[in-house]
Amino acid sequence: MKNIVLIGFMGSGKSTIGNRLARRLRYQFVDTDYEIEQVTDLTVAQIFAKYGVKRFRGEEALLVSKLADRKGLVIATGGGLVIKPENVEQLKKNGILIGLEASPETICKRVRNKRTRPLLARRNLQETVERMLEERKDAYSVAEFTVNVDRLAPDQAVDIIIEYLKRRQYIL
């Protein structure tokens, strides 16, 4: 029972799809942003505002080191977690990395009414998203299988991921 680790940009659907995937597989669901909020008793936005991005990345790395040895989890990662190669290395030990990919237009639509993502709290959302996607292209390319979710409902994305996991015999 390897962990299924969802990676991708903010708004690509990691939390939504991860939650549903975990239910379908009867795996435990872990959302790294949510876990960090529980452990620190602060919201992600508060951590950024009070302590800065470095501290948040530190919390992510600490959590990854705890999750890496576990099994049978669906892990929805924070959008920037795979920027650190050490995190990727650790998650790969017991995990299958699945990428969720979406166009800047889709991402902008899906993050627009959320004020919880400090890195997107800039004036020109589309420009910021495009720049960050370009900067992170290599970080997201570590996924062994990537689903483009532009035209998929969450459950359709779940079906495609399950089909892949079965085909590779990661699940029965």
Ligand X SMILES: Nc1ncnc2c1ncn2[C@@H]1O[C@H](COP(=O)(O)OP(=O)(O)OP(=O)(O)O)[C@@H](O)[C@H]1O
Distance between CA 104 and CA 111 in Å, rounded?
Answer: 10
Binding mask 82-121 for ligand SKM (x = CB under 6 A): -----------------------------------xxx--
Select from 3, 12, 15, 32 the one that contacts Mg ion (CB under 5 A). 15
Between 69 and 156, name the residue whose CB sits nearer to ligand X.
Answer: 156
DSSP 35-87: HHHHHHTS-HHHHHHHH-HHHHHHHHHHHHHHHTT--SEEEEPPTTGGGSHHH
150 marked among binding-site residues:
no
**Residue 22 found at the interface with ligand X (CB under 6 A):** no
Select from 4, 6, 10, 63 the one that contacts ligand SKM (CB under 6 A). 10
Q: Which does 160 bind (CB under 5 to 8 A by kind): ligand SKM, ligand X, Mg ion, none?
A: none
User: Burial of 71 by CB count in 10 Å (0-12 exposed, 13-18 middle, 19+ buried)?
Assistant: exposed
**Residue 117 found at the interface with ligand X (CB under 6 A):** yes
Count helices and strands in the chain by DSSP H and E runs: 9, 5
Tokens 């969450």: give the residue. 154
131 marked among binding-site residues:
no
| # residues near ligand SKM by CB under 6 A | 9
| # residues near Mg ion by CB under 5 A | 2
Tokens 């602060």: give the residue. 42
> Up-side HSE of residue 166: CA atoms within 13 Å toward CB?
8
Query: What residues make contact with ligand X under the rule CB under 6 A?
Result: 8, 10-16, 33, 76, 78-79, 110, 117, 149, 152-154, 157
